[in-house]
């Protein structure tokens, strides 16, 4: 793929994100927890007014032609890429990040090769489908109506102002979805922007090349994992999430997650619970399992079904779906795939662990962590 092609695709797809009066926000959080990449939502938020710098976080910018060519030419591989081999042909699994920096929207050589060898792009949700955005805006059908207390509404409004959005920009969304968007946008202070997420780059590439985009999940599936049915539980999650946002816990955890992803540092990723400052009790841990692990069997089944139909699939999911006892890599092995890391590669010292894992398929994702070397590319400077 030539640098000029990458520039063309980036400009054609991303230009609407930087049109005056519009911004894009993702959800990359764990319910009331911080951004983890376990599940993401795309919400287009009207932003007709912005505050004067430096009161506002940095906005995503278009690279110049020279910048784009240089970044495309020198882009290293980031994240986690696997080859899935079964039935005589290959597909690919890519552990992505839902926020990023400008340099990160240019894929490295191994990911470019996987893109060129694929005929179908599979994402958690098809962000290019207007019906997806409409369904997200309509909110959860399963949850009972919830109106935050006046105090929580005031705190939400303050965070909306700090994000340089009009106070009504997110008001049509469920309060927890408002919080999700504000959490993602808060990372812009560290020059980590949802507009530079890997799904955005891949969806733009697929649209330009004519590759079909397939959703691995439904909007309802994600909303049911994100939003509790009980209004009291929603109130508790909103209060906890706002506290983390106000205290800066979110930004620190998101920055560390982004560094681990950019460095392809799987051990740090797999140890997320130990440093995220988001797991304080059994309820928090159960919510994390529901948002991450419990969705993995469905993701694995859909990837396996697409592959069985003869497609050469590039499946991109949040990187935390590659961790835990229900790691996608382990589940896909149980579906009969030979799962081969492409980036980073296996460390020779851990080959013996493969046989042990084969004998014990219930083994936790810590074995996967041990089998993957921490040899990723360096983090781009902010």
Tell me how far apart the alpha carbons of residues 127 and 186 are, in angstroms, rounded to a whole number: 21
Domain ranges of the chain: 3-371
**Residue 100 or residue 377, greater confidence:** 100
**Residue 30 or residue 122, greater confidence:** 122
Task: Judge whether residue 348 has pLDDT over 50.
Answer: no
What mean pLDDT is predicted for residues 4-23? 31
What mean pLDDT is predicted for residues 199-222? 94
Task: Judge whether residue 35 has pLDDT over 60.
Answer: no
Output the pLDDT for position 364: 37
Output the pLDDT for position 196: 94
Of 272, 234, 236, nearest in space to 254 by CA: 272
Output the pLDDT for position 41: 36
pLDDT digits (tens, 9 = 90+) for 70-98: 999 999 999 999 999 999 999 999 999 99
Rounded to 5 degrees, what are φ and ψ at 63?
-75, 150
Task: Judge whether residue 18 has pLDDT over 70.
Answer: no
Q: SS3 sequence, 259-305?
A: HHHHCCCHHHHHCHHHHCCCCCCHHHHHHHHHHCHHHHHHHHHHHHH
Task: Judge whether residue 223 has pLDDT over 80.
Answer: yes
Question: How many percent of the chain have pLDDT more than 70?
Answer: 76
Task: Judge whether residue 153 has pLDDT over 70.
Answer: yes
pLDDT digits (tens, 9 = 90+) for 45-66: 333 334 444 589 988 888 999 9
Rounded to 5 degrees, what are φ and ψ at 138?
-70, -25
pLDDT digits (tens, 9 = 90+) for 282-319: 988 888 898 899 999 999 999 999 999 999 999 999 99
For residue 66 the two structure tokens come to: 């020279």
**If pLDDT is split at 50, 70 and 90, which confidence band does 346 have?**
low
What mean pLDDT is predicted for residues 130-148? 87
Of 193, 180, 253, 184, nearest in space to 223 by CA: 180
Output the pLDDT for position 291: 87
């Amino acid at each position: 793929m030539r640098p000029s092609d990458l520039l063309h695709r980036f400009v054609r797809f991303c230009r609407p994100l930087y049109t005056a009066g519009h911004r894009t926000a993702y959800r990359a959080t764990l319910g009331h927890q911080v951004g983890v990449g376990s599940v993401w939502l795309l919400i287009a938020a009207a932003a007709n007014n912005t505050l004067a710098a430096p009161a506002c976080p940095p906005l995503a910018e278009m690279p110049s032609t020279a910048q784009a060519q240089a970044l495309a030419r020198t882009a290293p591989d980031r994240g986690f890429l696997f080859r899935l081999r079964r039935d005589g042909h290959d597909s690919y699994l890519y552990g992505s990040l839902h926020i990023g920096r400008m340099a990160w929207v240019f894929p490295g050589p191994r990911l470019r090769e996987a893109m060129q060898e694929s005929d179908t792009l599979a994402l958690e949700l098809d962000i290019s489908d207007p019906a997806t955005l409409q369904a997200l805006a309509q909110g959860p059908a399963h949850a009972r109506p919830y109106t935050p207390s006046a105090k929580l509404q005031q705190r939400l409004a303050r965070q909306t102002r700090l994000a340089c959005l009009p106070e009504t920009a997110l008001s049509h969304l469920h309060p927890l979805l408002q919080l999700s968007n504000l959490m993602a946008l808060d990372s812009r202070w560290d020059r980590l922007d949802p507009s530079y997420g890997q799904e955005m780059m891949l969806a733009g590439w697929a649209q330009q090349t004519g590759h079909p985009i397939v959703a691995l999940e439904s909007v309802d599936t994600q909303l049911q994992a994100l939003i509790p049915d009980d209004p009291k539980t929603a109130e508790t999650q909103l209060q906890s999430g706002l506290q983390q946002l106000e205290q800066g816990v979110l930004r620190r955890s998101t920055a560390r997650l982004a560094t681990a992803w950019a460095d392809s540092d799987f051990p740090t990723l797999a140890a997320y619970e130990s440093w995220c400052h988001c797991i304080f009790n059994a309820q928090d841990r159960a919510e994390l399992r529901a948002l991450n692990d419990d969705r993995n069997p469905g993701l694995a089944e859909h990837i396996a079904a697409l592959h069985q139909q003869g497609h050469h699939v590039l499946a991109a999911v949040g990187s935390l779906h590659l961790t835990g006892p229900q790691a996608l890599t382990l589940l896909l092995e149980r579906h009969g795939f030979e799962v081969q890391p492409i980036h980073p590669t296996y460390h020779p010292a851990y080959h013996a662990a493969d046989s042990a894992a084969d004998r014990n398929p219930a083994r936790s994702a810590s074995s996967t962590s041990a089998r993957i070397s921490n040899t990723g590319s360096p983090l781009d400077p902010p």
